[in-house]
């Protein structure tokens, strides 16, 4: 009996069935912990790569939108004030070729209304507006499928005699039904309804070069008669990313490094545009 008791105690020692079960359970806990560590590391790496890809895609989207905005508005600015030399009455209708508003959207500019500015609740804060006017010449201007002159939205513009006067108004707004701010155009074509043309434009800033000036000035600093002397325009657009990813600093249109107000990525792009129909452009 004594031998059996000793034998039984040995079976309960570290090398017995219960001791082996304890070792297996410990190994399982260690393996599970290591697995969780590896899984957490993999998830963190995946999240970091996903965020990096999202930021890169957002930046590419902003650059594409900025290039589109600068190209679309820039092409019209370069045409500003055009009218045939032998048509002085027509030239008077497109003079001044450009007219701007500081932190407001432009109104008017047609044959029977005055140029002016108005503030709309949907307009982006501190974003400028612009009116561009020129005469259609069927060569450098834009034509629709039927061959008729069109405004910035591709809408046909009525001719008065041989020529048509194109009036395009550009501004930035974000109506309540829109998820992102957009660059809008309002032309004098048949629709007469403003439409967004580039998504993601958060702000548009315009500087105007007067004949013989050493630096550009903003719209509010120009007297009414000085718009005839504008020979070039500095066009800058600020693009806004789609998703918030922490507060990010960016260089704005004034060359200052500022913080993003809502944590979204932002990018400013600019272009210097000479009015081809004005003399002595810098």
Judge whether 267 and 63 are in contact, CB under 8 Å.
Answer: yes
Q: Residue 199: what pLDDT?
A: 94
Whats the size of the chain, residue-wise? 282
**pLDDT score, position 247:** 64
Conformational region of residue 212, where left means phi above 0, alpha means psi within -120 to 50, and beta covers everything else: left
Query: pLDDT 10s digit of each residue in the chain, 282 long?
Result: 454 554 555 545 555 565 566 667 777 778 777 878 887 777 777 666 666 667 778 888 999 999 999 999 999 999 999 998 888 888 888 999 999 999 999 998 776 568 999 999 888 888 999 999 999 887 778 787 778 889 999 998 888 778 889 999 999 999 888 888 999 999 998 888 899 999 999 999 999 999 989 999 999 999 999 999 999 999 999 999 887 766 678 999 999 999 888 888 899 999 999 998 876 444
Cα 255 to Cα 66, 215, 251, 252, 273: the distances in Å are 17, 15, 6, 5, 18
Among 112, 154, 156, 152, which residue's Cα sits nearest to residue 130? 152
Query: Which pLDDT score is estimated for 66?
Result: 95
pLDDT of amino acid 282: 45
Confidence at residue 209, expressed as pLDDT on a 0 to 100 scale: 96
Cα separation, 147 vs 125, whole angstroms: 39
Give the Cα-Cα-Cα angle 29, 30, 34 (nearest 5 degrees). 115
pLDDT at 220: 93
Helix residue ranges per DSSP H, 80-208: 88-93
Which pLDDT score, from 0 to 100, does residue 279 have? 62
Q: Which of 181, 203, 178 is nearest to 258 (CA)?
A: 203
pLDDT at residue 50 in the model: 67
**Domain extents in the chain:** 2-50, 58-274
Longest dimension (CA), the chain: 131
Phi and psi dihedrals of 17, rounded to 5? -60, -40
């Amino acid at each position: 009996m004594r031998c059996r008791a000793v034998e039984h105690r040995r079976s309960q020692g570290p090398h017995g069935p219960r001791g082996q079960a304890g070792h297996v359970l410990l190994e399982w806990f260690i393996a599970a912990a290591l697995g969780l560590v590896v899984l957490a590391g993999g998830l963190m790496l995946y999240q970091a790569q996903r965020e990096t890809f999202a930021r890169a895609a957002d930046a590419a989207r902003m650059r594409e939108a900025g290039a589109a905005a600068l190209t679309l508005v820039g092409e019209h600015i370069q045409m500003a004030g055009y009218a045939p030399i032998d048509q002085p009455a027509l030239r008077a209708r497109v003079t001044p070729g450009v007219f701007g508003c500081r932190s407001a959207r432009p109104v008017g500019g047609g044959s029977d209304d005055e140029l002016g500015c108005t503030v709309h609740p949907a307009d982006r804060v501190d974003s400028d507006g612009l009116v561009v006017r020129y005469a259609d010449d069927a060569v450098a201007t834009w034509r629709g499928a039927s061959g008729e002159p069109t405004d910035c939205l591709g809408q046909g513009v009525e001719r008065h005699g041989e020529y048509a006067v194109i009036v395009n108004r550009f501004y930035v707004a974000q109506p309540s039904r829109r998820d992102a701010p957009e660059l809008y155009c309002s032309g004098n074509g048949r629709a007469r309804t403003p439409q967004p043309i580039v998504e993601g434009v958060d702000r548009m800033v315009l500087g105007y070069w007067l004949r013989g000036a050493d630096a550009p000035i903003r719209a509010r600093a120009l007297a009414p008669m000085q718009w005839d002397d504008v020979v070039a325009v500095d066009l800058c657009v600020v693009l806004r990313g789609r998703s918030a990813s922490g507060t990010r600093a960016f260089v704005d249109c004034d060359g200052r490094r500022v913080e993003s107000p809502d944590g979204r990525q932002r990018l400013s792009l600019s272009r210097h545009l000479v009015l081809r129909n004005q003399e002595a452009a810098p």
